[in-house]
Amino acid sequence: MALLPILHYPDPRLHIRAAPVTEVNAEIRKLVDDMAETMRAAVGIGLAATQVNVHKRLIVLDVSEDQQNLQVFINPKLLSRDGSQEREEGCLSVPGIYDRVTRAEHIVVEALDREGNPFTLEAEGLLATCIQHEMDHLDGKVFVEYLSQLKQNRIKTKLRKRARETL
């Protein structure tokens, strides 16, 4: 397994719309495993392929307390959404920035697992937020885009400054 570099906002590659996975093969399973390792090493609860500059519709997440429950969604599709919840979000592509975002409280999602088998999952609360956040990445959307333009500009300035300082 290998750790993959994570793109940081405002990198324009975070806005590329990912293409469906056409076949769940050994290459895809390796990507899943590398993404899971990268997510754990970065102490994140979710990661979309977009964030490691692979523009395929694939996300991994683990919202369990002991980080022992990896969930893989290949070509995820929302079948339904209802209710609303506001929750503080962060993102491995927007380090050090946290803010509240309103999303559906309850969703039903269908996807393929790591073996390519289809499944349907009902999710609510943190898991529902996390799935929606990661699915946004596949459409080229980062959570800060839900915030005011003023906040987005501040975040861009801050992250650009930090990127310069770490060069």
CA distances 103 to 106, 140, 146, Å, are 9, 17, 10
104 near Ni ion, judged by CB under 5 A: no
Among 36, 91, 127, 130, contact with Ni ion (rule: CB under 5 A): 91
CB-CB contact of 38 with 74 (8 Å): no
Specify the residue, 8 or 106, whose C-beta has the smaller distance to Ni ion: 8
The least CB distance from residue 93 to Ni ion, in Å, is 5
128 vs 24: CA distance, rounded Å:
24
79 vs 77: CA distance, rounded Å:
6
> 3-state class of 142 per DSSP?
coil
Q: Which stretch binds Ni ion (CB under 5 A): 70-78, 88-96, 102-110, 144-152?
A: 88-96
Specify the residue, 75 or 93, whose C-beta has the smaller distance to Ni ion: 93
CB-CB contact of 107 with 128 (8 Å): yes
Tell me, yes or no, if 86 is annotated catalytic. no
Q: Which residues are bridge partners to 103 per DSSP?
A: 85
Q: Which residues are bridge partners to 140 per DSSP?
A: none
Q: Which stretch binds Ni ion (CB under 5 A): 54-62, 63-71, 72-80, 91-99?
A: 91-99
Catalytic hit among 37, 115, 134, 145: 134
Specify the residue, 21 or 91, whose C-beta has the smaller distance to Ni ion: 91
The least CB distance from residue 88 to Ni ion, in Å, is 13
Beta-carbon neighbour count of residue 31 at 10 Å?
19
Specify the residue, 7 or 116, whose C-beta has the smaller distance to Ni ion: 7
Binding site for Ni ion (CB under 5 A): 91
Q: Active-site residues: which are they?
A: 134
